Amino acid sequence: MALLSLISRYDWRGWVLPLALLLVWTLSTAFDWVDTRLLASPLAVLSAFSKAALSGELWVDLSASLIRNLNGFALGVLAGLLFGGLLGLSRQAEHWIGPTFHALKQIALFAWIPLLSAWFGFGEPAKVTFIALAVFYPVALNTFEGIRSVRRELYEVAQVLRLSPLQRLRYLVLPSAAPALFTGLHLGLIYAWLATLGAEYFFSAAPGIGNSMIDGREHFHMDQVLYGLMVVGAVGLLLNRLAQSLERRLLRWRDHR
């Protein structure tokens, strides 16, 4: 009864479009409405997924991509928080460095690939740096804007209370800038996963979901390409949900003010 009650309360409307697309996909391949050499059937994709999962190939590729993703994310977050904090806390730094930063952020991420490959080669350091660069800009920008959004009246109160710079940062700046900081981290997590796939496409071959999809394309195994797409989408969805859950938990205090 509890399970039926849970099912009845769940909003299933979000599943209507995916199920409709799955039905069209199944019918298209079953009745040869499309060339199955270009669009493998759902059963073929499921079979390829099962084969990769049972052989361990899927988990090797997925773990390699996730480790690469988390390394780049951590590096980009650290650099973004430090740089955005510097611009937000120092007017002089904003005047001297800010214009260059705002100009560089207009450069498309993939335009950095020739320079990164010249500096770091085509191996793992270049991939991690590429991911970190994708994370750096949203984290730095949101950190800067979050700190600058702190109301001047709060600084005046801090001055009256004679708070030290560290106390101002802990009790004034960080709580006020927290929503913007978490927005930057959330965006950085999304961009990191997108950049991970881009890095695996444009740099040297190594274990990873992106490279598995490239191998499938080169050997014309569309079932391998499609199951790779499914895995990429599922991981991206899980990372997004994780970020939302952590943000709600860590910012719960805002609802009780």
Position 53 in a domain:
yes
Position 232 in a domain:
yes
Give the CATH number for residue 173. 1.10.3720.10
Average pLDDT over residues 219-231: 86
Average pLDDT over residues 201-224: 83
Average pLDDT over residues 164-190: 78
Specify the length of the chain in residues: 257
Confidence band of 17 (pLDDT split at 50, 70, 90): confident
Confidence band of 135 (pLDDT split at 50, 70, 90): very high
pLDDT tens profile 170-179: 667 777 777 8
Report the percentage of the chain scoring pLDDT > 70. Answer: 84
Position 17 in a domain:
no
8 Å CB contact between 130 and 116: yes
Average pLDDT over residues 33-56: 85
Q: Is the per-residue pLDDT at 4 higher than 60?
A: no
Position 69 in a domain:
yes
Position 24 in a domain:
no
Position 13 in a domain:
no
pLDDT of residue 78: 95
Q: Which residue did the predictor score with more confidence, 234 or 149? A: 234
Position 199 in a domain:
yes
Q: Is the per-residue pLDDT at 180 higher than 80?
A: yes
8 Å CB contact between 136 and 83: yes
pLDDT tens profile 149-159: 776 766 666 66
- Number of domains forming the structure of the chain: 1
Is the entire prediction scored with pTM above 0.75?
yes
Helix 57-89, helix 91-104: angle, nearest 10: 140
Domain that holds residue 187: 42-256
Position 157 in a domain:
yes
Confidence band of 254 (pLDDT split at 50, 70, 90): low
pLDDT of residue 247: 74
Torsion of CA 212, 217, 219, 220, to 10 degrees: 130
Q: Is the per-residue pLDDT at 160 higher than 90?
A: no
pLDDT of residue 117: 86
pLDDT of residue 154: 61
Q: Which residue did the predictor score with more confidence, 77 or 203? A: 77
pLDDT of residue 81: 92
The Cα–Cα gap between 240 and 244 comes to 6
Q: What six digits make up the tokens of 69?
A: 């993703």
Q: Is the per-residue pLDDT at 106 higher than 90?
A: no
pLDDT of residue 26: 85
The Cα–Cα gap between 137 and 141 comes to 6
